[in-house]
């Protein structure tokens, strides 16, 4: 019988206090687990990696079609800060022309975890992302010849604090991001580069939350780890071009979140003819470095020594 004794607790406390910050990796707020979403930015610092994310975009208004293979890495520097880096390989197939391929622009970022509220399952994060000029195929693929600075605020909120007489609403959660893109050049080759307002949301229903915290309805692997969701994201220019040229997508899909990795798949539906027509799709394989390597690279760099 492994009874839990006070003496053992004290000894373990010393160990835990020295390693505690390894604990709060990926998206937890109280009993709520937030998966890494595909379209909208995540409201938590993390040691995670997407290898890869494959996107077949809907055809654009001129009929061309782009396929992207993205790799992204998030790495905690301290328990509350992380850096991100990512790039993509792109294939663009214009109508009636041969396809062109190459790298997209390199993007990096730094993020700070503003708050984590366990009882109310709330998260907040601020970040500054940078998309770097001349790091992709500018002429062939339309990669930017200018650097863009993008401050963001990301948030998450689970509905687990609803009254218990609303049990089946409690597994719902929403995450979202609000941000701007500030280009460092006002135009490129005679085409204006607007400042954009970006806003996106992910509406999630967590079967893991339903099973663990509301009602065990008998779901077992793999269904007890599914999180159906709908993501939406929009970009509205606020200068240099008409604001009516808002573009965006709606992406219904599902994420399966395991112990060490998650797999997500979503359809991509354009919201208007400025965005495109038809439909596309995206799949993502995403690993949790903090769970795979909890005593080495999955820890914040500040705790490596």
Partner 1 sequence: MRGIIVALVAGAAAVGAAPLALAHAFLDHASPAVGSSVPASPPVVTLWFTQDLEPAFSGVTVTNEAGQRVDLGNVQIPPGSPAELQIGLKPLPPGTYLVSWHVVSVDTHPTEGTFTFEVGRG
Q: Are 173 and 138 in contact (CB under 8 A)?
A: no
Q: Are 164 and 156 in contact (CB under 8 A)?
A: no
Contact pick of 33, 172, 201, 207 for partner 1 (by CB under 8 A): 33
Distances in Å between the Cα of 58 and the Cα atoms of 93, 137, 172 are 12, 21, 29
* Distance in angstroms (rounded) separating the CA atoms of residues 215 and 111: 35
Nearer to partner 1 (CB atom), residue 145 or residue 303: 303
* Distance in angstroms (rounded) separating the CA atoms of residues 102 and 142: 10
Give the binding-site size for partner 1 (rule: CB under 8 A): 51
Distances in Å between the Cα of 229 and the Cα atoms of 175, 204, 250, 253 are 11, 4, 11, 6
Contact pick of 64, 291, 301, 303 for partner 1 (by CB under 8 A): 291
Contact pick of 260, 277, 278, 302 for partner 1 (by CB under 8 A): 260
31 counts as binding partner 1 under rule CB under 8 A: yes
Contact pick of 134, 215, 240, 277 for partner 1 (by CB under 8 A): 215
Contact pick of 71, 241, 254, 283 for partner 1 (by CB under 8 A): 71
72 counts as binding partner 1 under rule CB under 8 A: no
Contact pick of 16, 99, 140, 238 for partner 1 (by CB under 8 A): 16
Contact pick of 62, 96, 98, 164 for partner 1 (by CB under 8 A): 164
Binding to partner 1, residues 94-113 (CB under 8 A)? 101
The maximal CA–CA distance of the chain, rounded, in angstroms, is 76
Window of 40-48, 76-84, 175-183, 285-293 that interacts with partner 1 by CB under 8 A: 285-293
Task: Name the H helices within 142-223.
Answer: 207-209
295 — phi, psi (to 5°)? -110, 5
* Distance in angstroms (rounded) separating the CA atoms of residues 46 and 80: 9
Write out the residues near partner 1 by the rule CB under 8 A.
1-5, 8-9, 11-13, 15-16, 19-20, 22-25, 28, 30-31, 33, 49, 51-52, 69, 71, 89, 101, 118, 164, 167, 208, 211-216, 259-261, 285, 287-288, 290-295
């Amino acid at each position: 019988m492994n009874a839990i004794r006070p003496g053992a607790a004290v000894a373990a406390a010393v160990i835990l206090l020295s390693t505690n910050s390894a604990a709060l990796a990926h998206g937890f707020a109280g009993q709520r687990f937030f998966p890494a979403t595909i379209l909208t930015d995540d409201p938590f610092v993390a040691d995670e990696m997407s290898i890869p994310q494959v996107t077949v975009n809907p055809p654009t208004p001129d009929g061309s079609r782009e396929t992207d293979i993205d790799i992204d890495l998030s790495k905690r520097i301290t328990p509350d800060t992380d850096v991100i880096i990512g790039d993509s390989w792109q294939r663009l197939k214009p109508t009636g022309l041969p396809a062109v391929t190459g790298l997209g622009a390199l993007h990096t970022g730094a993020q700070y975890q503003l708050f984590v509220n366990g009882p109310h399952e709330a998260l907040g994060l601020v970040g500054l992302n940078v998309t770097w000029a001349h790091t992709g195929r500018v002429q062939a693929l339309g990669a930017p010849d200018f650097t863009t600075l993008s401050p963001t605020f990301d948030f998450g909120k689970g509905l687990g604090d609803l009254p218990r007489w609303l049990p089946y609403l409690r597994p719902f959660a929403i995450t979202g991001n609000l941000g701007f893109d500030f280009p460092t050049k006002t135009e490129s080759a005679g085409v204006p580069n607007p400042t954009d307002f970006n806003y996106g949301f992910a509406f999630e229903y967590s079967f893991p939350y339903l099973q663990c915290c509301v009602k065990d309805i008998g779901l077992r692997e793999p269904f007890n780890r599914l999180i159906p969701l709908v993501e939406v994201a929009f970009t509205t220019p606020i200068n240099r071009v008409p604001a009516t040229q808002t573009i965006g997508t709606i992406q219904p899909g599902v994420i399966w979140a395991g112990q060490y990795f998650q797999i997500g798949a979503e359809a991509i539906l354009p919201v208007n003819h400025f965005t495109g027509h038809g439909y596309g799709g995206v799949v993502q394989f995403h690993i949790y470095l903090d769970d795979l390597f909890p005593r080495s690279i999955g820890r914040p760099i500040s705790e490596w020594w």
